[in-house]
Structure 1
Amino acid sequence: MRVAEKIEKMILKMIPGNTFKYQELGIAKDEYSAATKAIERLIKREVIKRASTGLFYIPKQTAFGNIMPREEELLKPYLFNGGQRTAYITGITLYNRMGITTQVPKNIRLASRDKRIVTKIGSVEVKSVKSYVEVTNENYYLLELLDVIKDFKTIPDADKTQTIRFLLNKLGELTVKEKEKLIWIALKYPPRVRALTGALLSELNPTDLLQELKKSINPLTIYKYKITSQQLPTIENWNIQ
């Protein structure tokens, strides 16, 4: 079977809206030249579309026309490596998705421990920031919550009372083991993050593990969040104002 036929047959079996790269087509090294030409022909025929350099997808057809893949799908090559998560979406994109802000970011930020990510998805720039710990499938959702706490004061248009409620709801849904993992990760974050994390968790159900957070912050330092005790009753125990 010719390379072009093999590629088209493989692509047509894919789910519309999902992205793929050359590496997922099982192409041998000596077939890359023919594969590149085959891909370009499929793009011209509008069988597939290019999402970004080296990233393609089959358009998903709806009553309103073809639609782009979901944001998470477009970013998949940068979020995973060999099926293992190595990065996660953070910043205003994340906070918008969570409903904390209505602001739409001009660029997307991906947090990763070691990976440097600079690319474009359409007209939107994708930039990387350094995560505080190694990112995995088992911890990225905890890192997302800690980033909300980290950026609590600077999230545009965020209502502090509603953000506190959001965080308490999300933290309250975690299992005991997940809360323990969150605490150990929080110890890698700045002191102000540890303080607010401690105040939020102690509002839910105080545990001995919170002492680790308590010991990690300076008892003489005041962390200014402009939060009242009506919004979060435990702030005084964590030097928060």
Structure 2
Amino acid sequence: MPESIMQRVRQQVLAVEPGKLINYADLVTEPSQFGAVAAALSRLIREGLVVRYAKGQYYRPQTSRFGTLPLSEGAILCTLTTEKGVVSAYLTGAALYNQLGLTTQVPATIKVTSPKPRRTRPKRVAFVVRPAPERASDVPLLQWLEVLRDLRRIPDARPNDVLARVQRFVKALAPAERRRLVELASHQAPPRARAVLGALLELQGDKHGAASLRATINPLTTYRLGLSTAALPNAPQWHIR
């Protein structure tokens, strides 16, 4: 292996903040260097300078008086949800619901969206297929649509309580954000989520948004979500039980 490649890879690795993932693509500048870079990384692993996290991904370990620290969830998420500085995915599942204060459970595996199925996955990560966000500002809206999608399946959370949180979020949105939420729901949310969002918008006086969502659902379908009429007074009109 040319010593210059070994030195370059070592310098690149040392320049990266400990605990931050390094992609193989960050280190290979030309296809012909693939083997040399792989050999350099193998040597650095033996030296303890880097740790292999998953295929093509490495990190400089952080150490404390108790030993080497595991890779942080934040570092994992940053790598999995951004591509060349652009947001390409987002956190969902129980880890998201914990962040939002909807559940106290901390999952052993985090769930991240992916625009296509993945055959391999890093440790402690699961993927669910969703379209990539068109822009970063869509991510919070898409995540609250995930909440509506899993309304009955959020650990240690009652559907009525979850709905109250969604209602506060929707009410606080600016008009443009609310219109974007309706647009995203119309194309990406399942019918049950669209029905609940439509009912909430109707209660909040957004007739146009509610009508837009009503037009996307089957009027003969009933959605059994465990919600009370006290929590959602117009639930029967949206066939929500």
User: How many residues matched?
Assistant: 237
Alignment of 1:100-111 (within 5 A): 100-105=102-107, 107-111=109-113
Alignment of 1:28-177 (within 5 A): 28-62=30-64, 64-105=66-107, 107-113=109-115, 115-122=116-123, 124=124, 126-131=125-130, 133-136=131-134, 137-177=136-176
The reply to whether residue 197 of structure 1 matches residue 209 of structure 2 is: no
Q: 1:21 to 1:218 in 2, by over 3 A?
A: closer
Q: 1:117 to 1:174 in 2, by over 3 A?
A: farther
Q: 1:182 to 1:9 in 2, by over 3 A?
A: same
Determine which structure has the larger helix proportion and give its number.
Answer: 2
The amino acid of 1:4's aligned partner reads M
Task: Say whether the 8 Å CA contact 2:170–2:178 is kept in structure 1.
Answer: yes
Q: Please report the TM-score for the alignment, with normalisation by the length of structure 2.
A: 0.84
Secondary structure of the residue aligned to 2:53 is strand
For residues 22-81 of structure 1, the C-alpha deviation after alignment (integer angstroms, 9 at most, x for no partner) is 211253323222222221222222222111121111123345543233324224444333
Task: Say whether the 8 Å CA contact 1:90–1:111 is kept in structure 2.
Answer: yes
1:25 to 18, 24, 27: 27
Q: 1:205 to 1:11 in 2, by over 3 A?
A: farther
Which residues of structure 2 form unaligned runs of 5+?
none
How far the C-alpha of 1:99 sits from its partner, in A, is: 2.9
Q: 1:175 to 1:158 in 2, by over 3 A?
A: same
Q: Please report the TM-score for the alignment, with normalisation by the length of structure 1.
A: 0.84
For residues 88-118 of structure 1, the C-alpha deviation after alignment (integer angstroms, 9 at most, x for no partner) is 22223322333323344454433233x2223
Task: Say whether the 8 Å CA contact 1:118–1:127 is kept in structure 2.
Answer: no
More displaced stretch, 134-143 vs 189-198:
134-143
The amino acid of 2:231's aligned partner reads Q
2: CA distance, partners of 1:120 / 1:209: 38
Task: Say whether the 8 Å CA contact 2:148–2:193 is kept in structure 1.
Answer: yes
Task: Say whether the 8 Å CA contact 1:118–1:128 is kept in structure 2.
Answer: no
Identity %: 30
